[in-house]
Amino acid sequence: MIVCEQVERCFPAATGAVRALAGVSVSIARGEFVAIKGPSGCGKTTLLLALGGMQRPSAGRVSFEGRDLYALSAPQRNRLRAERIGFVFQLFHLVPYLTVRENILAGLPTGSDVGAAAARVETLLRQLGLRERAAARPGTLSAGERQRTALARALVKQPALILADEPTGNLDPANAAEVFRHLAAYQQAGGTVVVVTHGNDAAPYTTRTLNLVAGRLVEADRPVNTPVNADQPIPSL
Amino acid sequence: MSLADLILRELRHHWANALLVTLGLVIAVALLVAVKMTTAAAERETRRVMRDLGFNLRIIPRATDMDHFWTHGFSDQTMPEEAVRRLAASHGVFLSFNHLTPALEGRLDVAGRPALLTGLGETIVDPNEGKQPMGYRLKPGQVILGRAIATRLEARRGETIRLSDREFTVERILGESGTDEDVRIYGALADVQAVLGLPGRINEIKAIDCLCLTADEDPLAQLRAVVEKIVPEARVMQLTVLADARARQRQMAERYAQFAVPLVLVVGAGWLALLAWLNVRERRAEIGLWRALGHGSARIAGLLLGKALVLGAVGALAGYALGMWIALSAGPEIFKVTAKSLRPEPILLFWALALTPAFAALASLLPTMAAVAQEPAETLRAD
Ligand SMILES: Nc1ncnc2c1ncn2[C@@H]1O[C@H](COP(=O)(O)OP(=O)(O)OP(=O)(O)O)[C@@H](O)[C@H]1O
Ligand SMILES: [Mg+2]
């Protein structure tokens, strides 16, 4: 589903360039639940953004479903992201002037049938424990509630791939487990999940763990769980 | 969610920001409206005050004995009254002359002592300008008396006086002027022609030059060229000090307006652009988010430009109202003579409403497009 070839990314900095990614090659198949681990600043977020078509690598290629992501035009890449990829940001990035429910709806591609998605939104609100807060603005939410809203926004469009950057960073173990169960259910239904995580909470669900150190992948762990059959249809909740 | 919905939601949520931006727009528009109104009023006032200095051109018969003219104050020769109509009817004459007034002047003994008598015909103004003709307007049988003459005759307003066996009603008595006007009697042209026994004749056409050239630009040569072509039997005298002062003052007022209005326009536009630009910059992270969610550039631009349009329209309306209020409350104190012509100008409202939102949107467009063109990951970092 995703193939990374020698992906590099440098950032200009006061003390020369920062090499956030120093040649990452990895292939992620459909139906996998991949965890990316590594110390802070090792390039996890940078890698995830590059996989999601949101940050162009300085060198190397990222292909998604057989298409070279960064060879596409910006509108094409947008469209692809809108329809196929759900992203949960480390810093949530919710729209401050929309309610929780509206923020979730904002995850739908423009022009999609909101009526048909409404039932899905209610299910997500219930499953993620956000029903009471559905009419609240992000400014009044706890960090955990924001994180769950961001997750719901990524899930609502039923994407082929979910990229989640520390989606449980602000949650207590019980809630974190709930979020991972949710992602796992999604993967079980045929989705592909890549999460950045620090702890081991995700271990029971992941099919593979990638260890990133200073912008490089060090030996990837052997799969623990079996990837889901790649021929399954696009997941639905 | 519809675009309009999103725009309104954002406005409501960030109402303090929207209010500040609108206030900024109001200040810019009000400043523009007030300056435009007052510079226009200043130009108008200058023209009126300068015009009230009186006629500055005297067109007299070519054969005039100039020694007589200067020692007596009027020409000893006459020309047909029709000359003024010939002059007025010729093409393009109002580019150089205006307020063409036929006059017949002469001396007359009143109560045994000399007096000056001036008959004024109907003033012809540029038909395209619709200006009020200047000077005194007298009906047949009416006269206006200079102060010294009124004293001499012990005449009062509304009373009847006799001049060469004819009766006239005193329409008005002038205040002391300190000029020969004090011993002058103004009457209707036909009456004075009858009194002086010169029916159908005039010895001067009074006028104002509207070239408004200063003395060094030699307006007299141009004025003479016009008159010589159309009324070859006449010549032009210019009261140069008056004409020059008038030209200089008017030119200054025009130059000042030409400087002040564009200056304020540029400052106002710059201020407006700055506000629009800052407003977009503040929302870069949001732009990045919409981008990350896969929304198209058109929709994102619509979101930001829509806000600029809404705030621009509100700012234009309120700014027009404020600017107008400032101009209308301060104006009459400054522009005493033309105070009445300070009126609300809907055309300015039209321009404010048309230009402010358009300009605010245009100024927002550049930073929006710049933000949209960046990688979402970069823009998202902006907060
Ligand atoms: N836009 C940028 N400009 C400059 N440097 C950047 C930029 N983005 C990332 N970096 C740098 O690249 C390195 C990797 O950053 P990244 O955010 O990918 O780390 P991370 O592994 O996600 O860390 P954390 O676990 O703390 O989230 C860091 O040293 C960071 O400072
Ligand atoms: Mg990170």
Q: What is the 3-state secondary structure (H, E, C) of A140-174?
A: HCCHHHHHHHHHHHHHCCCCCEEEEECCCCCCCHH
E runs forming strands in B49-203? 57-61, 79-80, 97-110, 113-120, 142-145, 160-163, 166-173, 184-188, 201-202
SS3 label, residue B5: helix
The domains of chain B are located at 3-48+249-382, 57-238
CATH number of the CATH domain containing A70: 3.40.50.300
Q: What is the total count of domains within chain A?
A: 1
> What pLDDT is recorded for position A224?
58
**Separation in Å, CA B304 to CA B10, B281, B308, B352, B365:** 10, 11, 6, 20, 8
Q: Is residue A124 part of a domain?
A: yes
Q: How many angstroms does the Cα of residue B159 sit away from the middle of ligand 1?
A: 102
**Separation in Å, CA A84 to CA A160, A161, A206:** 5, 6, 21
Identity of residue A138: P
Residue A222 has pLDDT above 70, yes or no: no
Q: Are B348 and B33 in contact (CB under 8 A)?
A: yes
> What pLDDT is recorded for position B143?
93
> What pLDDT is recorded for position B232?
85
Residue A230 has pLDDT above 60, yes or no: no
Q: Are B146 and B153 in contact (CB under 8 A)?
A: no
Q: Is residue A231 part of a domain?
A: no
Residue B84: which residues within 8 A CB-CB, separation 6 or more?
B100, B101, B102, B121, B124, B202, B205
Using beta carbons and an 8 Å cutoff, which residues of A are at the interface with B?
Answer: 49, 52, 54-56, 74-75, 78-83, 85, 87, 89, 91, 93, 95-98, 102, 105-107, 109-110, 137, 153
User: What percentage of chain A's residues is helix, strand, coil (to nearest 5)?
Assistant: 30, 25, 40
Closest among B34, B17, B30 to B311, alpha carbons compared: B17
| DSSP letter (8 states) at residue B199 | T
Which ligand 1 atom is nearest residue A12's CA? Answer: 4
d(C-alpha A83, C-alpha A222), whole Å: 31
d(C-alpha A31, C-alpha A28), whole Å: 9
Q: Which of A8, A18, A217 to mutate to test the pocket of ligand 1 (most atoms within 8 A of CB)?
A: A18
Predicted TM-score (pTM) of the model is 0.75
Residue A28 has pLDDT above 90, yes or no: yes
Q: Are B91 and B80 in contact (CB under 8 A)?
A: no
Identity of residue B62: R
Q: Convert the pLDDT of each residue in A184-205 to its tens digit.
A: 999 999 999 999 998 888 888 9
Query: Directed axis angle between helix B15-51 and helix B240-282, to 10°?
Result: 170
Q: Mutate which of B6, B293, B307, B383 to disrupt the A interface (most A C-beta within 10 Å)?
A: B293
Residue B333: which residues within 8 A CB-CB, separation 6 or more?
none
- Could you write out the three-class secondary structure of B281-341? HHCHHHHHHHHHCCCCHHHHHHHHHHHHHHHHHHHHHHHHHHHHHHHHHHHHHHCCCCHHH
pLDDT in tens, chain B (383 residues): 788 999 999 999 989 989 988 998 999 999 999 998 988 888 888 877 877 777 888 999 999 999 999 999 899 999 999 988 888 888 777 777 888 899 999 999 988 899 999 999 988 888 777 667 777 788 899 999 999 999 999 989 999 998 888 899 999 999 998 888 899 999 999 999 999 999 999 999 998 877 667 667 777 788 888 888 888 888 888 777 777 788 888 888 888 888 888 898 898 888 888 888 888 888 888 999 999 998 888 899 999 999 999 999 999 999 999 999 999 999 888 888 788 888 898 999 999 999 999 988 998 998 899 888 888 888 887 65
Closest among B102, B92, B118, B97 to B179, alpha carbons compared: B118
Give the mean model confidence (pLDDT) for residues A114-129. Answer: 90
Of all protein residues, the one whose alpha carbon is nearest to atom 4 of ligand 1 is A11
d(C-alpha B51, C-alpha B226), whole Å: 21
d(C-alpha A212, C-alpha A201), whole Å: 18
d(C-alpha B208, C-alpha B203), whole Å: 17
For the CA atoms of A166, A172, A175, A177, what is the dihedral angle to 10 degrees?
Answer: 70
Residue A187: which residues within 8 A CB-CB, separation 6 or more?
A31, A32, A33, A193, A205, A228, A235
> What pLDDT is recorded for position A116?
84
User: Cβ of B293 and A106 within 8 Å?
Assistant: yes
Q: Which of A42, A90, A197 to mutate to test the pocket of ligand 1 (most atoms within 8 A of CB)?
A: A42
d(C-alpha B44, C-alpha B54), whole Å: 16
> What pLDDT is recorded for position A187?
94
* Residues of chain A positioned with their CB less than 8 A from the CB of B380: 54, 89, 91, 93
Q: Which chain B residue shows the shortest CA-CA distance from A159? A: B293
User: Cβ of B13 and A96 within 8 Å?
Assistant: yes
In this structure, the residues whose C-beta lies within 6 A of any atom of ligand 1 are A 11, 13, 18, 20, 40-46, 90; B 381
Rg of chain A (C-alpha set): 17
Q: How many angstroms does the Cα of residue A196 sit away from the middle of ligand 1?
A: 13
Residue B47: which residues within 8 A CB-CB, separation 6 or more?
B250, B253
d(C-alpha B232, C-alpha B98), whole Å: 19
User: Cβ of A93 and B292 within 8 Å?
Assistant: yes
Q: Are B72 and B107 in contact (CB under 8 A)?
A: yes
> What pLDDT is recorded for position A236?
59
Residue A134 has pLDDT above 90, yes or no: yes
Of the bound ligands, which one is closest to the alpha carbon of residue A211?
Answer: 1
* Residues of chain B positioned with their CB less than 8 A from the CB of A85: 294
Task: Provide the token pair at A64.
Answer: 């998604």
Range of the domain at A141: 2-220
> What pLDDT is recorded for position B76?
93
> What pLDDT is recorded for position B95?
77
Task: Provide the token pair at B154.
Answer: 């012990």
SS3 label, residue A19: strand
* Residues of chain B positioned with their CB less than 8 A from the CB of A105: 1
More confident residue, A220 or B260: B260
* Residues of chain A positioned with their CB less than 8 A from the CB of B378: 55
- Look at chain A and count its residues: 237
Q: Is residue A57 part of a domain?
A: yes
